[in-house]
Structure 1
Amino acid sequence: MMDARHDHPKLVLPPPTYPAVLFVMAWVLDQHLIPPFIDSVSSAPLLGAILVILGLGAAGWAVLRFMRAGTHVEPHKPTLAMVMDGPFRFSRNPIYASFFALFAGVGMIMKLEWTIVFLPILWLCLRLWVIAPEEAFLSSRFGSEYEHYRQKVRRWL
């Protein structure tokens, strides 16, 4: 049995904090710095809606797989099992991939071009401060089972 203090990855901030903060920054910049240029792209809201639907679907499917496995979605709670089915067959991080779809999709619906500019920053934040600690934790927690899964399944898509 793992020590309760070490049964989950140690993250600086909860993962949804990064897209939320960057989205607010995008909105503020859009409102006060640079006027929208996406207005000329009439299909942006439709494409954004499709991305939002895909993002919500992927995240929902992943959460259901966590629930079915009897483990926690929240990274600050104990990790009780590895989830390798459902969307986790295609991506080790389907929830974080859905963050990108939702971030870009809502940005397109609201015509906030700064969300597109901030996508690489979101990727970097998640990669350094969420995924790296989670992968290190999962490797120490599940050993060769996680390493085999990591070799077999891509990080993103």
Structure 2
Amino acid sequence: MRTFTAIAGSAIFLIAAPGVVAGLIPWLLSDRWGLPWSAMPGFVLAGWVLILAAAAVLLHAFGRFALEGLGTPAPIAPTEKLVIGGIYRHVRNPMYVAVLSIILGQALLFSSWTLVAYAAVGAVAMGAFVRLYEEPTLSRRYGEEYETYRRNVPGWVPRLTPWRGSRP
């Protein structure tokens, strides 16, 4: 896939998937962000920090797919190469971690248990999707390269020291 096509496809998928899951649905669940901000000390600041940091991670991860992998995160337009650089050296699923963090950041902003519950349901759904679809698909597509990567990089909780491995 050409770089421009990969960037355009990734941008469209960014709006269609994380934009809906971490943006539109929480917007609707929070009465179009009309809920009052949290009265708990530090929750609003912590929520904004979490949202902004997670948004940066999400954009970085999408960029890696387009520029390093020459593809998109969308299953219909996968990458040509396994993406293992940048944030992917620390965690295999940074997009899911970022999306859940954005939702939880909004839960902090509004002290919303509804958004916490939504994030929990989302975490279960994302975990199932990873186990039942993504891991088998990546194993078939990239073989031993993915298995080596999978052994060396945690799935959900970032490792403090990066994997220093190279492509097998």
Which TM-score bucket, shorter chain as reference? Answer: 0.7 to 0.9
Tell me: higher relative CO, structure 1 or 2? Use CA pairs within 8 A at least 6 residues apart. 1
Question: What secondary structure is seen at the aligned counterpart in 1 of 2:73?
Answer: coil
Is 2:105 aligned against 1:105?
yes
Q: Distance in 1 between matches of 2:59 and 2:148?
A: 25
Aligned to 2:147: 147
Alignment of 1:119-134 (within 5 A): 119-134=119-134
Does the 8 A contact of 1:22 with 1:122 survive in 2? no
Structure 2 residue aligned with 1:138: 138
| Residue 156 of structure 2 corresponds to residue 156 of structure 1 | yes
Deviation at 1:71, TM superposition (A): 1.9
Q: CA deviation at 1:115?
A: 1.3
**Native 8 Å contact 2:38 2:111 kept in 1:** yes
Distance 1:108 1:154, change over 3 A: same
**What is the deviation of 1:140?**
0.6
TM-score by length of 2: 0.70
Unaligned runs of 5+ in 2: 1-15, 158-168
Residue equivalent to 2:163: none
Q: CA RMSD in A?
A: 2.6
For residues 123 and 138 of structure 1, the distance between their equivalents in structure 2, rounded to whole angstroms, comes to 20
1:88 matched residue in structure 2:
88
Task: Tell me how many residue pairs correspond in the alignment.
Answer: 139
- Sequence identity of aligned pairs in percent? 24
TM-score (norm 1): 0.75
Q: Which amino acid aligns with 1:23?
A: P
Cα offset, 1:68, TM superposition: 1.8
Moved more, 100-109 or 80-89: 100-109
